[in-house]
Chain A
């Protein structure tokens, strides 16, 4: 792995390497799992009019305006080990969120969801609705029309949404530390590790190195998203 090749020169401690790998795992899982849901919700908000439209929109954007600690606390109250929902999921599906990396992924997904939704919704809204009608008149039912026409045309928004969501998930701290604490090797992501290092005497240099790592990852994500979006736009413009 490239990361371990780089490690000697950058002199990462095993704990730091674990935190970086865990961060990528948590953010990657959060992005991949929430993307289909984000596409569905964004499409519903863009194209359907239903009772509760405004309420759903508000609920999704809540984590953006609430203190992250409150969101983490809400998750803890909802999905903690001894709560009805938490014990139900643990007993019947073997899924435990509290104090596990899965919980960190969930907290990251919830926090990044509003950022993910916005570009996807905007790109659905920018598609000429009559293209879907044209597809219907050609014999494609609504499901075919969605996968053959609407979704491909919304691809640039999907890419931007996924990468923004990933970057946000990578940086999530407040909800994560509240919900799943700061357990090295299980829930200690890069931000939690930086936080721990800043609480340690002489930890500043190590904190700085990790901060640089997270900046590199974030900037890379943005550059990749730019390139992919440009490419998708060029395809749409017919070049």
Chain B
């Protein structure tokens, strides 16, 4: 889907990045100033690299060796900005149709009605762009980018300015776009939960260089110290199957080889595989299976890494039985007193009430 090999120097900042990916949703992750937005702008054509090439879906957009630099209006790459950047002088409908007007007729494969329906913007069409709320603006921005029938959708922190509920809503919509319109997505984000839930693959950047690339659960765990917001935004994603719903207590059991994950809500059947997000601060560790404890979710695994430095914190990475990684944020004190080391068999305990059913999305 995308192959990039570029260098760019701006003052004392140097971006040098090379990666290729076939993921349906590829995330660019890194702290602010890591160059992830610059990289997205290079792909969309809003900036030009000093050297290198960019190929999207087999189409060469940039190649400095051939002096090729396709202007942004000819790239057919849909851009979604953090603040949506709708045209304030136009109504919502004109905003949405703006890109479609410039799309050659034979290339218009994304139908207007389907986009309006999927993104739920039908009731907004006659409103002025300036009169929308943050979540509405973002949905209109998505619709506008989609209706160019782009080769690739580039989303630059599309949820960074939204509150919690709106973020969950937009994430659900992005999953639907991915499934219904089959357009690959490049997602720029510093939020681990977004990446774990949405991305199939992640490229992790720091100070203009790629530090890791791979599956989100493994790559983000390895780059735990780069996650903005520290331990409170460190998250793991687990793939599990939806099991039985217990109507008496209103809980759903997700089945994972390492143990059951109890969710305090009714998860609809029909999507058998789901991806559940677990905050690192919600995971406790025990050497033996604990008795007489309120926690219902106990997952068996083995410690594969302990990331600690001079701070009081230690990030313990656990490889679960049957696959999947879980990160637990602990203190160095408990790591020392429990004598935790790499290779130790461990039980990871998760409070069911800490798991947010709204963060459960369809699995890969």
Contacts of A91 in B (CB 8 A): none
Q: Are A137 and B44 in contact (CB under 8 A)?
A: yes
B103 and chain A: residue at smallest CB distance: A139
Contacts of B46 in A (CB 8 A): 133, 136-137
Contacts of B88 in A (CB 8 A): 153, 236-238
Report the minimum CB–CB distance from B302 to chain A (whole Å): 47
In the bound complex, how far is the Cα of B99 from the Cα of A26, in angstroms? 43
Cβ of B85 < 8 Å from any Cβ of A?
Answer: yes
Contacts of B72 in A (CB 8 A): 133, 136-137
Cβ of A49 < 8 Å from any Cβ of B?
Answer: no
Q: Are A134 and B45 in contact (CB under 8 A)?
A: no
> 8 Å CB contacts to A: which residues of B81-123?
81, 85, 87-89, 98-99, 101-103
Q: Are A235 and B76 in contact (CB under 8 A)?
A: no
With contacts A137-B44, A138-B102 taken as known, whether A130 is within 8 angstroms of B73 at the C-beta atoms is no
Q: Are A153 and B89 in contact (CB under 8 A)?
A: yes
Report the minimum CB–CB distance from A142 to chain B (whole Å): 8
Q: Are A137 and B102 in contact (CB under 8 A)?
A: no
Cβ of A84 < 8 Å from any Cβ of B?
Answer: no
Q: Are A134 and B85 in contact (CB under 8 A)?
A: yes
In the bound complex, how far is the Cα of B130 from the Cα of A236, in angstroms? 7
Q: Are B131 and A137 in contact (CB under 8 A)?
A: no
Digitize A140-157: 1 where CB-to-B-CB distance is under 8 Å, 0 elsewhere. Answer: 110010001100110100
A residues in contact (CB < 8 Å) with B:
128, 130-131, 133-141, 144, 148-149, 152-153, 155, 235-239
In the bound complex, how far is the Cα of B87 from the Cα of A152, in angstroms? 10
Contacts of A148 in B (CB 8 A): 98
Report the minimum CB–CB distance from A149 to chain B (whole Å): 6
Digitize B59-82: 1 where CB-to-A-CB distance is under 8 Å, 0 elsewhere. Answer: 000000000000111111111010
Give the interface size class of chain B: 20 to 34
In the bound complex, how far is the Cα of B316 from the Cα of A21, in angstroms? 86
Contacts of A236 in B (CB 8 A): 88-89, 130
From B46, B87, B127, residue with most partner A Cβ within 10 Å: B87
In the bound complex, how far is the Cα of B89 from the Cα of A135, in angstroms? 13
Q: Are B85 and A139 in contact (CB under 8 A)?
A: no
Q: Given A138, A153, A237, A238, which contacts B148 in the complex, CB threshold below 8 Å?
A: A138
In the bound complex, how far is the Cα of B131 from the Cα of A236, in angstroms? 10
Q: Are A238 and B129 in contact (CB under 8 A)?
A: yes
Contacts of B98 in A (CB 8 A): 135, 138, 140, 148
Q: Given A131, A155, A238, which contacts B128 in the complex, CB threshold below 8 Å?
A: A238
Q: Are B76 and A139 in contact (CB under 8 A)?
A: yes
Report the minimum CB–CB distance from B149 to chain A (whole Å): 10
Report the minimum CB–CB distance from B106 to chain A (whole Å): 14
Cβ of B144 < 8 Å from any Cβ of A?
Answer: yes
Contacts of B129 in A (CB 8 A): 238
B residues in contact (CB < 8 Å) with A:
44-46, 71-79, 81, 85, 87-89, 98-99, 101-103, 127-132, 144-145, 148
Q: Are B79 and A139 in contact (CB under 8 A)?
A: no
Q: Are A137 and B79 in contact (CB under 8 A)?
A: yes
Q: Are B73 and A237 in contact (CB under 8 A)?
A: no
Interchain residue pairs with CB less than 8 A apart (6): A131-B87, A133-B79, A136-B71, A140-B73, A140-B98, A144-B102
Q: Are A139 and B128 in contact (CB under 8 A)?
A: no
Contacts of B99 in A (CB 8 A): 138-139
Q: A137-B44, A238-B132 are in contact. List 15 more A-B contacts (CB 8 A).
A: A131-B85, A134-B79, A134-B87, A136-B46, A137-B77, A138-B78, A138-B79, A138-B144, A139-B73, A139-B101, A139-B102, A139-B148, A140-B98, A152-B89, A153-B88
A127 and chain B: residue at smallest CB distance: B88
Report the minimum CB–CB distance from B58 to chain A (whole Å): 20
**5 nearest interchain CB pairs?**
A238-B130, A139-B102, A138-B99, A238-B128, A238-B131
Contacts of B131 in A (CB 8 A): 238-239
Report the minimum CB–CB distance from A138 to chain B (whole Å): 3
B94 and chain A: residue at smallest CB distance: A148
With contacts A130-B85, A238-B131, A239-B128 taken as known, whether A136 is within 8 angstroms of B76 at the C-beta atoms is no
In the bound complex, how far is the Cα of B89 from the Cα of A131, in angstroms? 11
Report the minimum CB–CB distance from B109 to chain A (whole Å): 15
Contacts of B77 in A (CB 8 A): 137
Contacts of B76 in A (CB 8 A): 139
Q: Are A130 and B81 in contact (CB under 8 A)?
A: yes
Report the minimum CB–CB distance from A174 to chain B (whole Å): 40
Contacts of A235 in B (CB 8 A): 89, 128
Contacts of B101 in A (CB 8 A): 139
B74 and chain A: residue at smallest CB distance: A139
In the bound complex, how far is the Cα of B148 from the Cα of A133, in angstroms? 15
Contacts of A239 in B (CB 8 A): 128, 131
In the bound complex, how far is the Cα of B86 from the Cα of A128, in angstroms? 11
Report the minimum CB–CB distance from B154 to chain A (whole Å): 8
Contacts of A152 in B (CB 8 A): 89
Contacts of B73 in A (CB 8 A): 136-141
Q: Given A128, A140, A155, A237, which contacts B85 in the complex, CB threshold below 8 Å?
A: A128
With contacts A139-B102, A140-B102, A236-B88 taken as known, whether A134 is within 8 angstroms of B71 at the C-beta atoms is no
In the bound complex, how far is the Cα of B72 from the Cα of A136, in angstroms? 6
Report the minimum CB–CB distance from B38 to chain A (whole Å): 13
Contacts of A237 in B (CB 8 A): 88, 130
Q: Are B45 and A136 in contact (CB under 8 A)?
A: yes
From A136, A139, A148, residue with most partner B Cβ within 10 Å: A139
In the bound complex, how far is the Cα of B74 from the Cα of A239, in angstroms? 34
Report the minimum CB–CB distance from A221 to chain B (whole Å): 25
Report the minimum CB–CB distance from B105 to chain A (whole Å): 13
